[in-house]
């Protein structure tokens, strides 16, 4: 406990301030649902989610300090603790659960019920929090100064800079409002097309960009490197693979296509070739990328698990000090036992009691790995999809070997994979939040209860969100590509039925291996191969804006403030667009979308429509400049 005695948090252990209050719970639950829904929409569109901790923290600071005129940093911390749980649960759920809707659309099974989805998400979320709690003393307290927990530390710094809380919160809210307007103009009334594409005559390739604020914001937040890897993957797909397929197979009908490739291209352009062939190459690259990232992390994973289990022998934080109090170990063990039985008994998860125990053991292993890895490399580099792929492969093979190889087995495999994926995502988020609390002097026990509240609220919302998005557009469509869920579906079908176009999948696998050999991170490149190039190009624009900021010859502190403001504004834009995306899905379900659609009434020439799109996109980019560089100049 040496580190604990040396470290003094911002709020001393002997001082008691408001923390677990009605205000923090209501605001936290609202943000958990809002950021959960927004991130579910974003993740299904672009295959990536973003952390909600910092925007949740600045919104909390703005409301509690400025609107309510209270000076309560631990209350603000509780809001972000509860609020960020929604984003993590959504990230885990959208990687897997849409596969059930895809099978239902193919007529293989009935659609999963909202209660079924809620139970799977809830079980995974609660287990993720409960598995992390015994590790807090080992990873957060004893390893303080060793494990940096980048997001958790950054969130603590934002909360400590409370004097700027109101200004920072206004930046987030401005992003939400303006992105909502842009999204409604682009996808609501459809005043301008959502993307601009350019074809070269005599060459089957295609290039262009979308103009969505949230997609560009992903590029800004991820930075120029990740954005460029994704864009490179898109270039390979749309300017190399698609023209190659059209050139060499023009008169051929190749599985899984159902018409000659030349006819497909003439009717649907590069998008038709992408839908029939490139998706499988991208899926192979994604699967290989997930497995490669897992293999590269294996030594760290083994060492992490061994060290964490050893450290746990020192006991949990159970001291009399407020900042050392965790949930009771008895409560945790009984709760895990009850949840294990529920995994066995819930009809949506068709496993035996032994299978349920295996799920929980796998869950604890990956929760431990996830909790320590986010401490080392941050949440964005945590190979959750790799863990999910490994789990799905093992679960599907075991189910098939035990004779459960039909639709029932496929449903079971995706449910098991969903639980493990959500467990890993929530455990990582919980450890970041507990690190923030440790630095600020929060009460761990209250934060842990807050995590359970946030997970429960988000689990009850995620079923409705998935149902709504599926009813409006469907998964695996141009609007909602759902890349990870499509990949999980392909893996399970490949093992169970052996009906995949394996030549295309292996092309993707070896493309990923080649990229790894030359030292390029595989997963962002593979996502780029899988997704439309227009989407990757929009992400690249955000990355280029961030690159300009990074290269500015300014004082380091000023540059950091500008970049930080940009990240807060872009986080707000992601939330704003996500919420309007949910609203538009509601309008689509009720048939109102056709009433407000102006695209058919205006009948703009293609050139004029493209100029309109460019003007809107320029306004989106200028708004980022306004709330980062120009705002500081004015100040």
- pLDDT tens digits for 599-629? 877 778 888 889 999 999 999 999 998 887 7
Q: Is the dihedral of CA 66, 69, 74, 80 positive or negative?
A: negative
CA 615 to the chain's CA centroid = 30
pLDDT computed for residue 2 by the predictor? 41
Phi, psi at 383, each rounded to 5°: -80, 60
What residues contact residue 175 under an 8 Å CB cut-off, 6+ apart?
Answer: 217, 568, 569, 570, 571, 572, 573, 574, 575, 576, 627
Q: Which residues of the chain have pLDDT under 70?
A: 1-6, 162-167, 297, 300-301, 304-305, 307-320, 376-383, 385-386, 553-554, 630-635
Torsion angle in degrees (nearest 10) through CA of 382, 384, 390, 393: -160
pLDDT computed for residue 219 by the predictor? 87
Phi, psi at 442, each rounded to 5°: -75, 165
CB-based contact 298:125 (threshold 8 Å): no
Question: Full-prediction pTM beyond 0.75?
Answer: yes
CA 482 – CA 46 distance, rounded (Å): 8
């Amino acid at each position: 406990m040496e580190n604990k005695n040396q470290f003094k948090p911002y709020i001393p252990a002997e001082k008691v301030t408001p923390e677990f209050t009605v205000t923090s719970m209501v605001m936290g639950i609202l943000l958990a649902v809002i950021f959960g829904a927004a991130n579910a929409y974003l993740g299904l569109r672009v295959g990536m989610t973003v952390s909600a901790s910092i925007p949740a923290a600045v919104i909390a600071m703005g409301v509690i300090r400025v609107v309510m005129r209270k000076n309560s940093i631990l209350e603000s911390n509780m809001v972000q603790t509860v609020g960020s749980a929604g984003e993590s649960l959504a990230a885990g759920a959208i990687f897997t659960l849409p596969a059930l809707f895809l099978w239902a659309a193919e007529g293989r099974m009935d659609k999963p019920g909202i209660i079924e989805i809620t139970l799977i998400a809830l079980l995974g979320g609660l287990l993720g929090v409960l598995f992390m709690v015994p590790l807090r003393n080992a990873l957060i307290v004893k390893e303080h100064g060793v494990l940096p927990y980048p997001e958790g530390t950054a969130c603590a710094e934002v909360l400590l800079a409370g004097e700027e809380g109101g200004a920072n919160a206004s930046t987030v809210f401005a992003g939400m409002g303006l992105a909502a307007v842009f999204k409604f103009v682009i996808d609501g009334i459809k005043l301008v097309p959502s993307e601009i594409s350019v074809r070269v005559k005599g060459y089957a390739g295609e290039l262009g960009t979308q103009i969505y604020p949230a997609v560009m914001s992903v590029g800004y937040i991820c930075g120029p490197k990740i954005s460029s890897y994704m864009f490179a993957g898109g270039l390979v797909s749309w300017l190399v693979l698609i023209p190659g397929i059209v050139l060499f197979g023009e008169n051929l009908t190749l599985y899984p296509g159902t018409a000659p490739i030349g006819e497909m291209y003439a009717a649907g352009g590069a998008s038709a070739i992408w839908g029939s062939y490139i998706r499988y190459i991208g899926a192979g690259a994604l699967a290989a990328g997930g497995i490669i990232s897992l293999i590269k992390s294996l030594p760290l994973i083994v060492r992490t698990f061994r060290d964490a289990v050893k450290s746990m022998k020192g006991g949990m934080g159970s001291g009399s000090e407020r900042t050392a109090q965790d949930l009771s170990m008895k409560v945790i063990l009984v709760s895990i036992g009850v949840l294990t039985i529920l995994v066995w008994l819930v009809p949506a998860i068709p496993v035996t009691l032994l299978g349920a125990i295996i799920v929980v053991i796998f869950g604890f292993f990956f929760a431990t790995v996830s909790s320590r890895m986010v401490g080392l490399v941050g949440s964005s580099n945590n190979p959750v999809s790799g863990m999910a792929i490994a789990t799905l492969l093992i679960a599907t093979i075991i189910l098939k070997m035990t004779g459960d190889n039909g639709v029932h087995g496929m449903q079971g495999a995706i449910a098991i994979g969903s639980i493990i994926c959500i467990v890993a995502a929530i455990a990582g988020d919980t450890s970041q939040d507990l690190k923030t609390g440790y630095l600020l002097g929060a009460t761990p026990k209250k934060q842990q209860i807050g995590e359970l509240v946030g997970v429960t609220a988000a689990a009850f919302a995620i079923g409705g969100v998935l149902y709504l998005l599926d009813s409006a557009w469907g998964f695996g469509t141009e609007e909602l590509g759902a890349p990870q869920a499509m990949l999980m579906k392909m893996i399970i079908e490949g093992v169970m039925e052996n009906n995949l176009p394996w030549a295309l999948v292996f092309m993707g696998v070896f493309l990923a291996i080649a990229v790894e050999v030359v030292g390029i991170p595989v997963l962002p490149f593979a996502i780029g191969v899988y997704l439309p190039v227009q989407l990757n190009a929009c992400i690249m624009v955000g990355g280029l804006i961030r690159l300009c900021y990074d290269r500015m010859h300014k004082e380091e502190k000023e540059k950091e403030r500008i970049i930080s403001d940009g990240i807060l504004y872009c986080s707000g834009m992601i939330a704003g667009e996500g919420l309007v995306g949910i609203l538009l899905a509601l309008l689509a379900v009720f048939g109102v979308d056709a009433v407000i659609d102006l695209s058919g009434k205006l009948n703009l020439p293609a050139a004029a429509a493209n100029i309109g799109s460019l003007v809107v996109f320029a306004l989106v980019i200028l708004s980022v400049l306004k709330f980062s560089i120009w705002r500081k100049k004015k100040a």
